[in-house]
Structure 1
């Protein structure tokens, strides 16, 4: 990204991404400070009325992480030209496939929000095929699951009777959480746990059983994971609720649960409902 252009890119993303206007500047900062070792690029038009971010993933995959065109400059082919430029960069960097899909752990969205119809149409016109669907869920902390009515002490006492303790982990003490996430799941979750605003861990007999984090964006929850030994104890529910209670205390009325797997779990634990839908696209780079 050209020196001094970060502010303009954030303004552009805020103007272009109407469904994410409150988070667009944060997403730009997040994509501009990826994990160490990630190869990425930001390409823009001379007047910065359009910008695209791209990065290399694993297994030969390249990712189009963000595409934004000034509303006043649309219908001029800028978006198409930017995606083609991103594909050229990815191809030169060794990618064999390009994706409109999140490149964890540092990503903007799981894919293309279905409400961004022009972006989906552009991807399909360029030969991208839809290969998966991702969901976010929304937890309403006022009219849905309200932390003020939660019996946290009773839930913690029930876990304590099973030998499980739960506590908040400050950023300076997350080495164990990070190692646990890396060992049980992947490097992506380990990085997210380290970067999160809030993080909680469950332990039994000195061994970690689960963790949950929030704050990749202020109103987003995740990731969360529980080890097989914790299943059936209600550890995940308690970790989730503690995180959402912290977010409510920070002034949030709704929390977005990103890239959801078990819809039923979140629906039952915090009355979350299916919200945003993302289409994931890919195409070969010949």
Structure 2
């Protein structure tokens, strides 16, 4: 580690400086543009339900690097590095490695036995390291991380009226209504039923993402129900306005077209809000999103894992 680099915990008042650093450091324009929302989600909002630590690397008084890490909510033995940003003029000078080494020791002190360079849902920036961020991949390998998964995002093009992602849903909604299924926008009063449905049907921890989508500016959620029973939902904007998800349909309702209707209702909302390319994050069912919205795989991520030693 470079002795000239001083690592210190960052307080909330340093968030604007971290945002500006991310705007310079994130090479992909879409990432740089959404730096304020990313930092807010990872640092401010995530801290409400899990331990979060923000670290800054300084050369003298200059902030040259930043890292945000956290402990997994369901399993405190797992730590996550959620964001690393290094000033472009300081790359290959040990800043990223110093921050990661410091984070490993800090997470070990919080009880973590291993560290993932992977998103920590429900508040995450990206599933892992975008394959185009070559310096980050090199740093992970140099520090002994091993790749254990690959993930991807899909993109739905909302930039033109004839996009498959914006296909009308009125006819499908009328057909569903004939089967007793109603589709509508969800409101805050629906949150308990939505959360219960998500937990019982899919497990996981979608409660916070739903709470971050329903009734919040720049976000939203649509649901399908029959006789007051939730059959499916689709949400967007929980972490940032351009991202779609989560969504889910009851197994008994699969194949009815509910999922495609809910998806495109959300995408139309995002288009109306000025989003021209919606990111469907950490995708599982690729054929569904391709068929329902013409979405395509566009971003691929490597996810890394490292077991911590007693010395750390």
**What TM-score do the two structures reach when normalised by structure 2?**
0.88
Query: Cα RMSD over matched residues?
Result: 1.4
- Deviant stretches of 4+, over 3 Å: none
Deviation at residue 35 of structure 1 after TM alignment:
5.5
Q: How many residues align?
A: 284
Aligned to 1:184: 201
Distance 1:16 1:179, change over 3 A: same
Q: Does 1:213 align with 2:235?
A: yes
Deviation digits for residues 141-190 of structure 1, max 9, x if unmatched?
Answer: 2263152xx33221111111121111001245422212222222235212
Q: Does 1:55 align with 2:74?
A: no
Q: Does 1:268 align with 2:287?
A: no
Aligned to 2:91: 74
Q: Provide the rounded CA distance (Å) in 2 between the counterparts of 1:99 and 1:270.
A: 32
Deviation digits for residues 181-211 of structure 1, max 9, x if unmatched?
Answer: 2222235212101101110111012210110
Deviation at residue 94 of structure 1 after TM alignment:
0.6
Q: Provide the rounded CA distance (Å) in 2 between the counterparts of 1:186 and 1:239.
A: 20
Unaligned runs of at least 5 residues, structure 1 = none
Deviation at residue 248 of structure 1 after TM alignment:
1.3
Aligned to 1:9: 18
The one of 171, 187, 193 equivalent to 1:170 is: 187
Aligned to 1:256: 279
Question: 1:220, 1:255 within 8 Å by CA — same for their partners in 2?
Answer: yes
Unaligned runs of at least 5 residues, structure 2 = 1-9, 214-218
Q: Does 1:122 align with 2:136?
A: no
Question: 2:154, 2:283 within 8 Å by CA — same for their partners in 1?
Answer: yes
Deviation at residue 37 of structure 1 after TM alignment:
3.4
5 Å-filtered alignment, 1:96-245, equals 96-141=113-158, 142=160, 144-145=163-164, 147=166, 150-171=167-188, 173-186=190-203, 188-196=205-213, 197-216=219-238, 217-245=240-268
Distance 1:273 1:135, change over 3 A: same
Question: 2:165, 2:267 within 8 Å by CA — same for their partners in 1?
Answer: no
Distance 1:284 1:211, change over 3 A: same
Q: Provide the rounded CA distance (Å) in 2 between the counterparts of 1:194 and 1:187.
A: 14
Deviation digits for residues 13-35 of structure 1, max 9, x if unmatched?
Answer: 11101211011121111111215
Question: 1:15, 1:21 within 8 Å by CA — same for their partners in 2?
Answer: yes
Instruction: Determine helix, strand or coil for the equivalent of 2:66.
Output: strand
Q: Provide the rounded CA distance (Å) in 2 between the counterparts of 1:274 and 1:146.
A: 14
Q: Provide the rounded CA distance (Å) in 1 between the counterparts of 2:140 and 2:302.
A: 11
Q: Provide the rounded CA distance (Å) in 1 between the counterparts of 2:135 and 2:188.
A: 40
Q: Provide the rounded CA distance (Å) in 1 between the counterparts of 2:285 and 2:204.
A: 21
